[in-house]
Structure 1
Amino acid sequence: MTEPVLLSGGNPQIAKGYGDAPVRAYIAALPGWKRDVGARLDALIAAAVPGVAKAVKWNSPLYGVEGLGWFLGVHVVAKYVKVAFFRGAALDPPPPVGSKQKDVRYLHVSQDAPLDEGQFIDWVKQASRLPGEKM
């Protein structure tokens, strides 16, 4: 089995797929500290939203709720792991980083800035109850 190609910023090139297996393959292919962050985010999301739907599309893990769509995506860039809340502007409080898309808000998780797990779980629970993206 060949190792996945790492695209710009260390984002793994993973074949499109649905379920836990492609997301686990994505996380396993992450370089260095980003692998720990990816695994922790995945575990927190799964615990916050029992039965969460998972997929990898466009080389990014997506998380959603059956019938509501995708509420969150993860993408790795050079200096941080970018968590996209697709309806983040509706969250209270909204995640800190704005987007060109009016509804999307981001959380950047870097090696030097610890994740506020309590706030993250709250955002995930809120986001999972909103209509998500159909992708």
Structure 2
Amino acid sequence: MSDAQSPKLLAGGNPQIPKGDGDAPVQAYIDAMPGWKGTIARRLDELIVYLVPDVRKAVRWNSPFYGIEGRGWFASCHAFTWYVKVTFLNGALLVPEPPGSGKDPDSRWVDIGEDQFDDAQMAVWIEQSAALDGWHGF
């Protein structure tokens, strides 16, 4: 993408990508992420595609979402200044639970800094989360 076509980077390096369904908007988001954040998002995307071959993808609220048709969305990611946040929308049911939690009683997340991607743990969470019913919010 040329600079004239590059998405605007919002706070923390989060790309401003139009809402869209399918792989193309997710890849546009990942391609626009700066430096190591893009590397983490690409590893996450590749791991999800490998472990969940029938994954459904979309971009909403400047974040890639991953789900299963008819079963809901199970994960999303978002770039922040010092980390990439990977949210499991049904994360309260995962073992072990991802460490981050907030007002939503179902979601849990992990903040991944540079050189902190744990392929083995992420694979466990992805497989568990994709096997459960997910969020049907959009």
**What range describes the TM-score normalised by the shorter chain of this pair?**
over 0.9
Match of 2:11 in 1: 8
Match of 1:52 in 2: 55
One-letter amino acid matched to 1:118: A
Residues 10-36 of structure 1, C-alpha deviation per residue, up to 9 Å, x if partnerless?
100001111110000000000111111
Match of 1:43 among 42, 46, 50: 46
One-letter amino acid matched to 1:8: A
1:20 aligns with 2:49: no
Match of 1:120 among 114, 119, 122: 122
Structure 2: distance between partners of 1:122 and 1:129? 11
Residues 72-100 of structure 1, C-alpha deviation per residue, up to 9 Å, x if partnerless?
01011110000010110100111111222
Structure 2: distance between partners of 1:16 and 1:98? 25
Structure 2: distance between partners of 1:59 and 1:104? 18
Structure 2: distance between partners of 1:122 and 1:103? 18
TM-score of the superposed pair, with normalisation by structure 1: 0.95
Secondary structure at the aligned position of 1:120 is classed as: helix
Structure 2: distance between partners of 1:110 and 1:129? 27
Structure 2: distance between partners of 1:21 and 1:34? 18
TM alignment of 1:74-89, pairs within 5 A: 74-89=77-92
Structure 2: distance between partners of 1:48 and 1:118? 12
Any runs of at least 4 consecutive aligned residues in structure 1 with deviations exceeding 4 A, and if so which? none
Structure 2: distance between partners of 1:94 and 1:46? 22
Alpha-carbon shift at residue 118 of structure 1 (Å): 1.0
Paired residues, what number?
A: 134
Contact 1:99–1:106 under 8 Å retained in 2 = no
1:98 aligns with 2:101: yes
Q: Percent identity?
A: 51
Structure 1: distance between partners of 2:106 and 2:132? 12
Structure 2: distance between partners of 1:99 and 1:45? 24
Structure 2: distance between partners of 1:119 and 1:35? 19
